Every structure is written in structure tokens, then in C-alpha cells.
Structure 1
Amino acid sequence: MSLSITSLANIAIDLQSGISHQDRFARLIRTLRQLLGGDATALLRYEARQFRPLAIDGLAQDVLGRRFDLDAHPRLEAIARAGDVVRFPADSELPDPYDGLIPDHTDLKVHACLGLPLFADQNLIGALTVDGMDPLQFDHFSDEELRLISVLAAGALNNALLMEQLENQTPAATSAPISTKSNSAEMVGLSAGMLQLKKEIEIVAGSDLNVLITGETGVGKELVARAIHSGSARAANPLVYLNCAALPESVAESELFGHVKGAFTGAIHHRTGKFEMADNGTLFLDEIGELPLTLQAKLLRVLQYGDIQRVGDDSSQRVNVRVLAATNRDLKQHVLAGAFRADLFHRLSVFPLHVPPLRERGDDITLLAGFFCEQSRVKMGLKQVALSDAARNLLRRYDWPGNIRELEHALYRATVLARSGKPDGEIWLQPQHFQLADSEPKSVSQPAVSAPLVDNLRTATDDFQRQIIISTLASCAGNWAACARQLQLDVANLHRLAKRLGVK
């Protein structure tokens, strides 16, 4: 059955109705799935050689959290390059990004696949994908009918992107995903708490106010700081990071303000401090609650007057630095206890931001699990990493005392364990791959190591060593040097062993 003028008109009317962009997109793909008879549809946004799902229908919920790099997904790259409707043959050898991600069809390969690239002024802005289990599912729809759908969808997506730029009042170049050292490229989440946080970030980013970011360990405070800097007028200038908790008091002043040659024993050359490095940019002071009281007074002076003085230097110099600070402590209580200066607290917390813990973010756990599954798939060169329903429910029930950092490590560790003995590279994560307390969601996970059934001693030994390294590395927050110390190994030997076992 072909698409009627009425059905196309209804799509156009739906896309212009006065509802939010998210609801509009959800209605679009739901309607398309009904009209085309597919098993799954998705609307994807394109930027920086990556497709990001905006709305899905008929796909596992964690797909919304996945980010599909073109280099890792040849089908999506073909859609991006095509410039027109793409019909993949049922026997196409290109892997489908949705294999195993259509509920009730997890054991079957997607057979019919349509790709509709979406353009605005000849620039690719997104794509519609429609998939089905029947190889002949879309044969009776003409390319012309499908082009009309892509034009309607492209107009709606382009309007949404323009509105987003106007609301944020930032150039399109600054709204790209935020990168971090762990390659977690953005703040993934659609929960009420995260949407409110993102809104507050947009509000404060364009100002020059100091910001105090609070939240438990592992919630992503550094990511918030990067988002604020990226959305500010200082984005083209440096964002300098300093962990106050890892700062010995003897060198803390030199780290912040620098020193001149001969200022103290060991000062054999001039040193530039973090404030100088961040001049005209942003300085992010992580774990600010650990800063010694003596330095708190000097930091306050810089915030008040903009002057810094290198250790051993009689002259001062002026800097223009925006300070973002983060802590997992209750600084108000520290002020009352006399461990933190009240005047510095008020100077830093001009605009406080609180990052909610993962256990309060509901479905965001599923989205983040999908995000990390895709990252693990790419890092390990696997065809697919998918969550079973039981594993997804386990992750939702767990309390996540280590928050997003713990979830990331848990997904990576589970993928390594599930990969053992799977040469085809299609991984299904089951509850037994996660070292979490299933029956006691409020408890902290314990690194219980269980040796799987194996055919020989070498395999058993490798599996045991692999699990020990992964668990220890997670407890050391990914720090290989600390992991080596805990395991009483030379760090170079640990790296070699980890590579041989597939951990690195």
C-alpha cells in the first residue's frame, strides 16, 4: 500500500502542532512506523561524524543513550554519504547497528533497512532509519514517497535546531558534544533533574559568574565544568584543571600562582601557575574543600582583586580568570566547623549547581548503560554489545554508590567477562556478568571473583587474572599506577599483562 496524500498531510500537521520538540519527534517516528509497517524507527541527529538518537520507536530504550560514530557503523556512514533514499538489500554484509536491539526479536538479524538522510541547505543534519524483520517489508513504497517524508522530517528537525541555538544564544560550533579524558562525550540523560541541570548550565555559561558544583563522587562534576566553559565566551581559551585533593600543601601555592627561580630549595627555574595558564580562560578547582586554609585566603584575594603573586616574587600581575569549583563535601558544614572560610564559600557559590546522584535519575541509568555499551563495543572491536532485559532490570534496581563512574566501570568489566569465549564478537550482557548485589540494591558492590568453567588451566588463570585486574582498576578509579601498587606489580609489567589479557 502506498502512502496517501492524507497520511502525508497528517504528518505535516503533526510536525507543526504546538508541542515540545521531543514529543513532536516521538509522534513522527511512531506515525512512520505505523504507515510503513516497520518493526523499529529512529530519528537521528548528525554532528561531528556521529549520529545521536533523538527519538525511537520499537527499539530498546538504551538506544537513546548510544552514540553512533560513522567510522564504527558502515551502514550509517552509507546513509550519511548517500544524499538520497538508501535501501539495504536483505543480504547486505554491512552490520546493522540495531541487530539485537529490537525487543522480542533479539535473536534475529534485521533484514529490511531504509535510511533517509535529512538535509538543511545541502548540509546533513540527521537521518531517519526504518527497520523490519521481513526482507520485503518496504518494497512497495516508492523512493519519491520516501523523499517526501524525509523533506517533512528535515524541516521539523532544522526548526528544532534553530530554536535550540536561539534559546542557548550560542553559535552552532559551541553546541557540539563536550569531550572529557574518559571520552564520555556529553551529559547523557533525559530525567527531570538532568534537564533542569542542563537548563541552569545554559543560563550561567554565558555569564562570567563563579560557579560551585556540588554532588557525590562520580556524578560528573568535571563534565559540568567543561559544559559551562564550552558554552561561555571563554570557550576558545584554556580550561585549566587542578585537583586540590592531590595537592601537597608544600607545593600548593606554587601550583596555583607559580614561582620564580631560587624562591625555595629546588626552584631551579621559573614556574607558571595555574592562574596564569588560565588567563582569559577558566580555572576548574576540583575538590575545593581540600584546599588548605592558608591558601584559601590567597585564593580569595585573587577572586576579589584579580592579582596574583608568584612565590618569591615581589611584584604582582593581573589575571582575568573565571573560577569553577567542585566538591563532594557539604561546604556549609565545613564553614561552621571552621575548616573552610565563609567569605571564600560565598565568593565561589555565586551560582551553585547540584549534580543529582544516579539513583535519583530513573531511566537515565538505561540511557547511560547504552552509551557505555557502545563505547565498550568500539574500544574492544566487537560487533554488538547489548543488554538483556534481566541485566537492564538489575542496573535499574542497583543503588550506584559510585554513580556514573561506577556504572561505566561495571559495563566495561561486564563486557570483558562476557567476551570470553565469544569469537563472533556479539555480546549479550547478563546479570551474572555484573558484580552487583542483586537482592540488596542499597548495598555496595563487592569484587567477588568467580572462576568460570573452562577446559584448561591456562584459560582459568587468564580469566582469574583478568577479573582481578578489572576489579582492582575500578577500585582505583582507572589509575593504572595505583592499580599496580595495590597488586604489587611493576606498572610496565601490569600494562603488558593487561594488553595480553585484552583488558587494554
Structure 2
Amino acid sequence: MKDMEYGSRRFSQLSQEAIEQAAEGILWFDSDGRIHMANNAACRLLGYSREELLTMTVPDFDPEYSAEDYKDKYWRKVRQLGTINFESFHRRKDGSIYPVEISSSYVHFEGDGYSCTFFRDITERRRVQTALQESENKLSAIINHHFQLTGLLNIDGRILMANETALNLIGAEEEDVLGKYFWDTPWWNHSRELQTELKQKVKQAAGGEFVRFEAIHPDIHGESRLHDISLNPLLDDQGNATHIIPEARDITDIKKTESALHQALAELEQLKNRLEDENVYLQEEIRLDHNFGEIIGGSKALKKILGQIEQVASTDATVLILGETGTGKELIARAIHELSNRNSRPLVKVNCAALPANLIESELFGHEKGAFTGALARKIGRFELADRGTIFLDEIGDLPLELQAKLLRILQEGEFERLGNPETITVDVRVLAATNRDLAKTIRKGDFREDLFYRLNVYPVTCPSLRDRRDDIPLLVKHFVDKYSTKIGKKIYAVPKNIMKALQSYHWPGNVRELENIVERALVISRGDKLEIGDWLPRVENGVHQTTIPTLPELEREHILKVLELTSWRVSGSGGAAEKLGLKPTTLEARMKKFGIRRM
């Protein structure tokens, strides 16, 4: 029994000692707030002695309570709940006030009720909390005013924070998205495919990998906005991801600007290419050494043509120039262009017979890079080069039938498409066309469209053959002598009458071009200051002594044979018979077949 009493006293002493040594202040007070017990910490924290505290009530050191408030707000609550925890303020003896954290429990002892209250000074904690809150506020302000969308995810992909920029995009509050998986939020709900992709990318970031990609988000107005998105893992000292920072930057306007810039650069490149193409083309034309002054003559037939040129040049009418090979159809086209309102722009020439059938479409209409095998770069077609100018389609009768419909469309609507590009191009081009073919016969054979013929034949001009303007031969001979004398380095002052008579008597199947070739050769073989033709002289001059006058086909056959013998039966190529006669090789071969000319 004595041992039990001793043990009880011993436990009571230990309990009292623990209370006195406790770091927290401990107070016991009754229903009226009178203090019945105070430990050392309570005395130290409040600045009163124990004796002073035992004469005081709670409202004496707690400014939050009056005597009435203590009963109504505090005592009733602690008695009902048993234990309450809260923060308040205490006033020290010196009048200073400091924050405290309080834990009170209701205790029933010897028939009376008491509040056993533990309290601690939390001034330092409040200071740290305030500093932390200020830091968080500053950080939040920085993040929320950041123009990029950003936030914070845990490694599972759940949202811990989102800035205002991100929230404004979807018109949401932060509490609407906190705790949700990043891919299950309104930013991504518009695309299940994108949600699946994002889930995988978050997994990559959680593994410590920096992830970057582009994605489209609709804003609150439903407008699609392109964003540059990154997932940046935050790593601990061991290199393991603890959190993920998602960032998104709206690059819609940047992309539009880039696109506009690329478009502008493409247009500049297109203009540069066009100017380069025009320059190359014009340089080629300059090298051709043709000009309006080369229409030489004063015959009635030529004057009639010149009158037609003056009449039609000032209009935009399509002109079809007809005539045999070598009659000067291209010179007529140049004259029309030079006298037109389009003469500040180039005259673009296309020889429809000289281009391979598989390339003529590309030459006329252009092509994009990669449009066909060998299309290594974009090419501007001749029609596009001729925009606001004139295009001369020589040998139009040889244009492939499949391209005639496209040409008809340009004549009717001024529209076409480049090969490899569906975009329609509109041009303003005057068309001049020329042919030595009988188009009516070609139409009957089904090789030329009748509707295209009518569109081309708005204003037909027929170039007379040289045999129909023999009076112009002396002028032409003089012109060619002057032209080639300088080139060859010889001075020719006279053309014998018998030679001029022979030249005027010849029927000239190759017309002016053949005459030019004969004069050039004559200058080469001439030994003095008089023009010599030599063996090249047609036998027409001896016809006056013959009893039988040969027909024109016979003369033509004999002349072709003589040229073939002179060139060792070489038909085409430089120095060949076709070049000497001023004919195309195919034309010469056709005439050889017609006359039965074969090498023995």
C-alpha cells in the first residue's frame, strides 16, 4: 500500500516536472477564464510571474476575447468539442502583441470543468510564412504575366499549377484543372489522337527527357492556334525527375509571318527568275541579229503587206501569218510587235516544229520542280514570259493536237496551268502565229482543230514568195552583200548584170532565205570586187538558147541535185544541202522523195 502511494506521488512529481519543463506555455483556466495553473514557459512567454498570472483572466492577455466573448466563443466551443486548435494573439506584460498557436482541451476535475491550454509563440513561423507567401506571390505574378502558357505537373502528369495565360486560353479557373491529368483537360479535349500522343510525351519527360513538339489548340472563340510546346523535367540530385514544367508558346502569328515572308521571297524569286529568263531570251534574240529594218523591198506585193502591218499593229487582234518557207514571216511578226502598244515588252518566239513533242508543253506553259523526270527546277513558260507583250508561234501547223486545246483556252480566256501546279495563271498576251502549211488541208486530215484555226485566223497576212516580188531581188542582193561583206572582210562594189538577171530568173523555192545563203556563199568565192556565183549559178541563165524550156519542178529537181552533189549528199547539219537551200531537213527530204532523188 505504501509502495502504491509512493509510486503515485512519484508519478505526480514527474508530471509536474514535465509540465514545468515543457517548451510550450501551459495554462489551466475555468469557465470564467480565471487562471488556475501556469507553467514556467507560460510565465516566460507572457512576461508575468506565476503569482501575477494566477490573479488574471484570459481577456487580460488575449485581446481577441472580452469576458462575454470568452464564454460564448471559447468556453462553449471547447466544452462541446472537447479539443480545439486555433491561432490567436497574446499580449505580454510590456504591451507587445505576438501570434500564438493554441491547442485547448476540456478537462473535468474534482467536479469542475477546466480548459487545459497549450500555446507556443509562432512569430518566427509567421515571418517565414509571410516571406514564403511574398515569394510565392512574386513568382505567381511573374508566371501569370508570362506571355507563355506554363504550369507545374507531378511525374504522373497531374496538374499542380497553371498560369493565367494557360487558363485564359480555355476560359477556366485554376481549381477547374488542379489535380487532373494534363491530357484530360480542355486544352487537349479536341483531339483524342493528341491526348494519346501527349500522354506518351509526359511519360518521356517523367523519365528525365526534354520533350518539344507543336500542337494546335482552339481558343475560347473556337479559333485554332498553333503552339510550340515543351515538357521540361525538374531533376533531383540523383538525376530523377520530381516534377515537369510544361510550357507552350503561341506561334500562330509567327508562322503566318513566316509564311508571308516565304511567299514574298517566293514571289521575289519568281520575279528574279522571270527577269533572268527574259534576259536570257532577249540575249538570244539579240544574237539572232534580226530587226525591223531587214524588211527590204519596194514591190507592190511588199507594200501591200506593209500596209496590212500598219493597219493591224495598233490593235490586239490575233494575226495568222501565212507563206512559204523563207518568205520572212518572222520579220512580219517583229514589225507588227514593234509598231504595237506592247513594244516595251518582249516579243517571245516559239518554234513549234523545232521543239520535241514531249517538251513543247513545258516550253509553252512552264513547269514546277519535279513535275516530270528531269524537271530539276521550276521553269517559267513562254506564255508567262510574254505577259503584257507578244508571243510569236512559228510553225503553228506543227503544234501537237493534244496541245491545241490548251492554246485555244489561252486565246479565249487568257488562262493556263503550269505542269505540276493546279493553280490557274492568267496572262495578257497578244498572239501572232505563222505557218507554211495549208491549214485547210491539215484540218481535213484531222491534224489541226478547226475552232483553233478560226481563233488564229482573225487577221490573216500572206507573205508573198520571192518569185512574186522579183523586183525586190536587186535591193535584197545589195542588202545581203553589205551585210556579209563586213563579216567576211571583202569589199564588193558591183554585181554583174548577167548574175542579177540569173538571180531574178530563178524560181527560188527557198525564197529570201535561199537568196541570202547564195549571196553569202558568193562573197566567200568572189576573188575581186565583183560578185561571183560560180557553179552555184542556176542554169536558168542559159535557158534563152534552149529550144525546150524546162518546167519549174524540173528546175527545182535539177537544182536540188546540184546542191546535193556539192555537199557530197549531206542533207542536214552545218554545211548540209538543207542549210544551203534555206529549207528544213524534213522539207528537203520530202521534196527529194517527191522528185525521186536517191543517191546512186
TM-score (norm 1): 0.53
| Separation in structure 1 between the aligned mates of residue 354 and residue 533 of structure 2, nearest angstrom | 36
> What is the match of residue 98 of structure 1?
none
Q: Which residue of 2 aligns with 1:335?
A: 443
Structure with a larger share of its residues in strand: 2
The amino acid that maps onto 1:436 is P
Mapping 1:8-47, distance limit 5 Å: none
**Residue 375 of structure 1 aligns with which residue?**
483
Please name the residue that 1:298 is paired with.
406
**Which whole-Å deviations, capped at 9, do the CAs of 1:122-141 have from their partners, x for residues lacking one?**
xxxxxxxxxxxxxxxxxxxx
The offset of 1:350, in angstroms, is 0.4
For 2:520, the equivalent position in structure 1 comes to 412
Where does structure 2 lack aligned partners over 5 or more consecutive residues? Answer: 1-284, 544-549, 586-600
Give the match for residue 597 of structure 2. none
Matched, 1:181 2:288: yes
> What per-residue deviation string (whole Å, max 9, x for no partner) do you get for residues 435-484 of structure 1?
42323583222464899xxxxxxxxxxxx99999999626343799x99x
Distance 1:296 1:467, change over 3 A: closer
Q: CA deviation at 1:309?
A: 0.4
CA contact (8 A) 1:417 1:433 kept: no
2:382 paired residue among 274, 277, 285 = 274
Distance 1:205 1:179, change over 3 A: farther
Aligned residues: 288
Deviations 1:368-397 (A, max 9, x none): 111111112222222324210110110111
Give the unaligned 5+ runs of structure 1: 1-177, 420-425, 452-463, 484-504
Within 1, Cα distance between the matches of 2:447 and 2:567? 43
Of 353, 364, 370, which residue of structure 2 is paired with 1:256?
A: 364
Match of 1:365 in 2: 473
Write out per-residue CA displacement over residues 238-260 of structure 1, whole angstroms, 9 at most, x where no aligned residue.
11111101122212211110111
Residue by residue over 1:329-382, the C-alpha shift from the partner in whole angstroms, topping out at 9 and shown as x without a partner, is 011121122211111101011000000000010211111111111112222222
SS in 2 for 1:208: coil
CA–CA distance in structure 2, aligned partners of residues 397 and 388 of structure 1 = 14
Counterpart of 1:158?
Answer: none
> Aligned ranges for residues 380-391 of structure 1 at < 5 Å?
380-391=488-499
User: Match for residue 230 of structure 1?
Assistant: 338
Counterpart of 1:475, as a letter, is A
- Residue 179 of structure 1 deviates from its aligned partner by 8.2
Q: How does 1:183-202 map to 2 (within 5 A)?
A: 183=290, 185-202=293-310
Give deviations 1:32-83, integer Å, cap 9, x for gaps: xxxxxxxxxxxxxxxxxxxxxxxxxxxxxxxxxxxxxxxxxxxxxxxxxxxx
Is residue 211–residue 324 contact of structure 1 (8 Å, CA) maintained in 2? yes
Q: Secondary structure at the match of 1:312?
A: coil
What letter is aligned with 1:216? E
Q: 2:572, 2:579 within 8 Å by CA — same for their partners in 1?
A: no
Question: How far apart are the structure 1 equivalents of 2:564 and 2:409?
Answer: 55
Q: Which has the higher contact order (CA 8 A, sep 6+)?
A: 1
1:432 matched to 2:539? The reply is no
Choose the corresponding residue for 1:283, options 368, 382, 391: 391
Q: Is the 8 A contact 2:467 2:508 kept in 1?
A: yes
Change over 3 Å in CA distance of 1:382–1:470 after alignment to 2: farther
The residue identity in structure 2 corresponding to 1:209 is A
Q: Please tell me whether the aligned partners of residues 387 and 428 of structure 2 are also in contact (alpha carbons under 8 angstroms).
A: yes
Give the letter aligned to residue 579 of structure 2.
A
Q: Deviations over 1:147-175 (max 9, x none)?
A: xxxxxxxxxxxxxxxxxxxxxxxxxxxxx
2:426 aligned to 305, 312, 318, which one? 318
The answer (yes or no) to whether the contact 2:569–2:577 under 8 Å persists in 1 is no
CA contact (8 A) 1:435 1:446 kept: no
Does the 8 Å contact 2:563/2:577 carry over to 1? Answer: no
C-alpha distance in structure 1 between counterparts of 2:433 and 2:521, whole Å: 31
Cα 1:191/1:294, change in 2 over 3 Å:
same
Deviations 1:238-285 (A, max 9, x none): 111111011222122111101111212222211110101111111100
The offset of 1:411, in angstroms, is 0.8
Per-residue deviation at 1:205?
A: 0.6
Q: Are 1:207 and 2:315 matched, yes or no?
A: yes
Name the amino acid aligned to 2:391.
L
Q: 1:270 to 1:395 in 2, by over 3 A?
A: same
| Farther off after superposition, 377-386 or 393-402 | 377-386
Residues 367 and 380, structure 2, Cα contact 8 Å, conserved in 1: yes
Aligned pair partner of 2:500 in 359, 373, 392:
392
* Secondary structure of 2:380's aligned partner: coil
Residue identity (%): 45
- Larger Cα-atom Rg: 2
TM-score (norm 2): 0.45
